[in-house]
């Protein structure tokens, strides 16, 4: 099921906006043309189609950044990003949430701290990339789980998305997407089994 909102309503119904011409200096001009797309699912691990599409986009010559916040493995992290098709940069957490069970993470405070720091390092890298405008597409896989776990601040993500400089799309995935993010989206896709 795809729910899409092209945001054309405000262009054709200017009276609804009630813009005061004397107050134009407070209006914010967005630098990007790309859309915010959200893919949500009731369960984790349902985003293989997004990863497939990122490979296809990279093979077609687009510069793509794919960041997986909750997955990782040996020799992963920002300093060990994988390059595919010449245009796809694939970054995973250097100390992954998915390598351990939840109870183990909650019991071991040092492990929890290490995982949180690794995810936060990825987020800082992503913020720089979103603000730099160097990529044609940025995919933030399971970023909403990082927000739910209180590793990344929801308001920090919203602020970064509002100030991004990217001509392509930003894709967010997750199971529990906050309403504030849903309201920002140009397209929302709900994946079902």
| DSSP code per residue over 26-82 | GPPPP---PPEEEEE-SSSS--HHHHHHHHHHHHTT--EEEEEEEEE-TT-SGGG-E
Does the residue 27 lie in any domain? no
pLDDT score at 19: 47
- Number of domains within the chain: 1
Question: Are 81 and 89 within 8 A, CB to CB?
Answer: yes
Centre a 10 Å sphere on the Cβ of residue 193 and count the other Cβ atoms it contains: 6
Does the residue 93 lie in any domain? yes
Which residues lie below 8 Å from residue 131, measured CB to CB, with a gap of 6+? 160, 163, 164, 165
Domain containing residue 127? 38-190
pLDDT score at 73: 64
Does the residue 7 lie in any domain? no
pLDDT score at 91: 92
Q: Based on DSSP, count helices (H) and strands (E) in the chain, helices before strands.
A: 8, 8
Give the residue carrying structure tokens 């997955």: 71
Does the residue 79 lie in any domain? yes
pLDDT score at 10: 40
pLDDT score at 20: 52
Does the residue 18 lie in any domain? no
pLDDT score at 65: 95
Residues in the chain with pLDDT values less than 70? 1-33, 44-47, 73-74, 97-100, 193
Q: Kindly report the CATH number assigned to the domain that includes residue 114.
A: 3.40.50.300
Does the residue 176 lie in any domain? yes
Does the residue 130 lie in any domain? yes
Encoded tokens for 152: 């990344």
């Amino acid at each position: 099921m795809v729910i899409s909102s092209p945001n054309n309503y405000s262009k054709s119904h200017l009276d609804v906006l009630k813009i005061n011409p004397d107050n134009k200096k407070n209006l914010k001009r967005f630098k990007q043309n790309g859309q915010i797309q959200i893919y949500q699912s009731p369960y984790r691990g349902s985003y293989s189609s997004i990863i497939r599409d990122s490979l296809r986009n990279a093979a077609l010559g687009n510069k793509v950044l794919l960041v997986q916040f909750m997955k990782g493995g040996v020799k992963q992290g920002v300093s060990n990003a994988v390059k595919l098709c010449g245009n796809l940069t694939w970054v995973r957490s250097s100390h992954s949430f998915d390598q351990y069970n939840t109870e183990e993470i909650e019991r071991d405070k040092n492990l929890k701290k290490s995982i949180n720091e690794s995810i936060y390092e990825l987020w800082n890298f992503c913020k720089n990339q979103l603000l730099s405008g160097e990529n044609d597409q940025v995919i933030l896989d399971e970023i909403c789980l990082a927000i739910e776990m209180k590793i990344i601040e929801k308001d920090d993500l919203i602020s970064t998305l509002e100030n991004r400089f990217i001509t392509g799309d930003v894709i967010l995935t997750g199971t529990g997407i906050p309403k504030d993010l849903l309201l920002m989206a140009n397209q929302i896709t709900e994946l079902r089994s």
